[in-house]
Amino acid sequence: MFMHIFFYRFKCLIRDKQLVFWTLLFPILLGTFFYMAFSNLNDEASFHPIHAAVVPSGNSHYDAPFVDVLRSVSKGKNRLFMMKTAASQAEADRWLKAGKIDGYFSSGETIQLTVNESGLNQSIMKSFVDQYRTSSAAAAQIAKDNPNALQNGLLQDLSDHRSYVKEVSGGGAEPNNVLNYFYTLIAMACLYGSFWGAKEVMDIQADQTERAARVNTAPIHKLKMFIAGSLAALIILFAEILILLAYLRFGLKIDFGPRTGLVVLTALLGSILGISFGAFISAVVKAGEGLKIACLIFVTMAGSFLSGMMYQNMKYIVSQYVPLLSWLNPVNLLTDAFYALYYYDNLYRFALNAGMMCLFIIVFCAGTYLIIRRRRYARL
């Protein structure tokens, strides 16, 4: 009898085109839009050479070294400047006012920089001048103290710039600015599964629909009917989430890391969480179907917002100022579980999120059971 009910409910649920759209097609469409909007966020910004000019002072003692340095950084594919030489300061001023250059250098005993406005290019030019001044002063002082230093490669040593800071990620994965959007999308899709759970409860509440009234008159325990229907809904939802994951991974090339098994397990936990959450809300809220669905949508979308779906930094703002809310938000728990699997080498953070999800599932299932088993109807 249980299997008969299961297959019956499975056929009924899979024919609900509206629910299939919102739990499968809508997340896929939203993921496609995310990909189109955010696919370039990880691309490094291309650097364009800065248009600049130099005004020689007429003193070769000062001009020659500085002009040589400018020429060296104005060559090749990765050049820093597109350099022009002005015959006079007046000509350089005309170029600057016309917008042909971002600024110009005035050579001499003291290198001067003239700009019209503040910006990234102007800041780079200032940093270049400051570095040249520092290197020139250091070279002059060393040459004064040790005249043989010039013959021993002093200038080559000064031009050899090294960085002693290396950027590394918290785990083996490379930083990715867009993954959180897709993680919240999967979490939202799992919580949209609450529609399936809510439908199962409403279909055994005799005061909700005529179908539910007929179910309550059948010689079958309604708890058995609910469990069979919930299992059918879970299989449908989990299959939809797997299709979404496959589309993101193989269609949009979204990387979820090497822990595929744990990613699938997290998706299963999220599916169970979504079904149990929907059943619990439907059992608690005694109003009609419209209000129940509104509650589910509000909680899901508010949780998605607080998890960074609309504004990525919101997740970190909540974590910093209201950390308890992060642990009470089921969407954030799912999002953070996927995040931990991708970024961290150890599973401690993932285990915390998975444990909290299991706790929520137990609370939702227990609450739904206690409410359903106590509900009686005077007449049907």
CA angle 355, 361, 362 (to 5 degrees): 90
Q: Is residue 239 part of a domain?
A: yes
Q: Is residue 166 part of a domain?
A: no
pLDDT over 80 (residue 189): yes
Regarding whether 95 and 62 lie in a shared domain, the answer is yes
**DSSP per position, 225-255:** HHHHHHHHHHHHHHHHHHHHHHIIIIIS---
pLDDT in tens, 287-297: 788 899 999 99
Regarding whether 118 and 27 lie in a shared domain, the answer is no
What CATH number is given to the structural domain containing 54? 3.40.190
Half-sphere CA count of 34, side-chain side, radius 13 A: 25
Determine the pLDDT at residue 380.
47
Regarding whether 311 and 218 lie in a shared domain, the answer is yes
53, burial (CB in 10 Å: exposed 0-12, middle 13-18, buried 19+): buried
pLDDT over 80 (residue 212): no
* Domain end marker among 131, 159, 187: 159
pLDDT over 90 (residue 202): no
Instruction: Of 79-93, 193-207, 296-310, give the range with the top mean pLDDT.
Output: 296-310
Lowest model confidence (mean pLDDT) among 102-111, 142-151, 180-189: 142-151
Regarding whether 347 and 214 lie in a shared domain, the answer is yes
More confident residue, 79 or 160: 79
Determine the pLDDT at residue 4.
81
The Cα 346–Cα 327 span in angstroms is 20
Q: Which residues pair with 113 in a beta bridge?
A: 105
Tokens 């990387």 belong to 255
Determine the pLDDT at residue 110.
80
Regarding whether 351 and 236 lie in a shared domain, the answer is yes
Regarding whether 341 and 201 lie in a shared domain, the answer is yes
Lowest model confidence (mean pLDDT) among 127-141, 235-249, 268-282, 357-371: 127-141
pLDDT over 70 (residue 328): yes
- Contact of 295 with 287, CB cutoff 8 Å: no
Q: What is the mean pLDDT of residues 246-260?
A: 91
Q: Is residue 73 part of a domain?
A: yes
- Contact of 189 with 177, CB cutoff 8 Å: no
pLDDT in tens, 311-327: 888 988 999 999 999 99
Regarding whether 76 and 37 lie in a shared domain, the answer is no
The Cα 375–Cα 107 span in angstroms is 89
The helix-helix angle for 179-192 and 26-38 (nearest 10°) equals 170
Q: What is the mean pLDDT of residues 111-122?
A: 88
Range of the domain at 285: 2-41+176-374
Regarding whether 245 and 362 lie in a shared domain, the answer is yes
Determine the pLDDT at residue 151.
56
Phi and psi at 295, nearest 5°, equal: -60, -45
Instruction: Of 6-10, 19-23, 142-146, 222-226, give the range with the top mean pLDDT.
Output: 19-23
Regarding whether 140 and 201 lie in a shared domain, the answer is no
Determine the pLDDT at residue 163.
52
Identify the helix (H) or strand (E) that includes residue 115: strand 112-115
CA 244 to chain centre: 17
Regarding whether 190 and 68 lie in a shared domain, the answer is no
Q: Is residue 340 part of a domain?
A: yes
Phi and psi at 97, nearest 5°, equal: -70, -30
More confident residue, 135 or 139: 135
Regarding whether 188 and 261 lie in a shared domain, the answer is yes
Regarding whether 219 and 319 lie in a shared domain, the answer is yes
Computed on alpha carbons and rounded to an integer, the radius of gyration of the chain in Å comes to 33
Q: Is residue 368 part of a domain?
A: yes
pLDDT in tens, 29-70: 999 999 988 876 665 545 688 999 999 887 776 667 788 888
Q: Is residue 379 part of a domain?
A: no
Determine the pLDDT at residue 329.
96
Confidence of residue 132 (pLDDT cuts 50, 70, 90): confident
Determine the pLDDT at residue 70.
86
pLDDT in tens, 354-380: 999 999 999 999 999 888 876 655 454
Determine the pLDDT at residue 165.
55
Identify the helix (H) or strand (E) that includes residue 47: none
Determine the pLDDT at residue 378.
46
> Which residue, among 136, 152, 361, 371, has the nearest Cα to 271 in the 3D structure?
361
pLDDT over 80 (residue 159): no
- Listed in sequence order, the DSSP H helices in the chain are 2-14, 17-20, 26-38, 60-72, 89-98, 120-145, 154-159, 179-192, 194-202, 210-217, 222-246, 260-284, 289-306, 314-321, 323-328, 330-343, 348-374
Structure-token pair, residue 351: 């285990």
* Domain end marker among 99, 131, 159: 159
The Cα 87–Cα 75 span in angstroms is 21
Confidence of residue 203 (pLDDT cuts 50, 70, 90): confident
Determine the pLDDT at residue 95.
93
Q: Is residue 313 part of a domain?
A: yes
pLDDT over 70 (residue 166): no
Q: Is residue 169 part of a domain?
A: no
pLDDT over 60 (residue 115): yes
Q: What is the mean pLDDT of residues 112-120?
A: 88
pLDDT over 80 (residue 99): yes
Determine the pLDDT at residue 79.
86
* Domain end marker among 95, 129, 159: 159
Q: How many domains does the chain have?
A: 2
Q: What is the mean pLDDT of residues 302-306?
A: 95
Q: What is the mean pLDDT of residues 194-223?
A: 72
The Cα 249–Cα 318 span in angstroms is 29
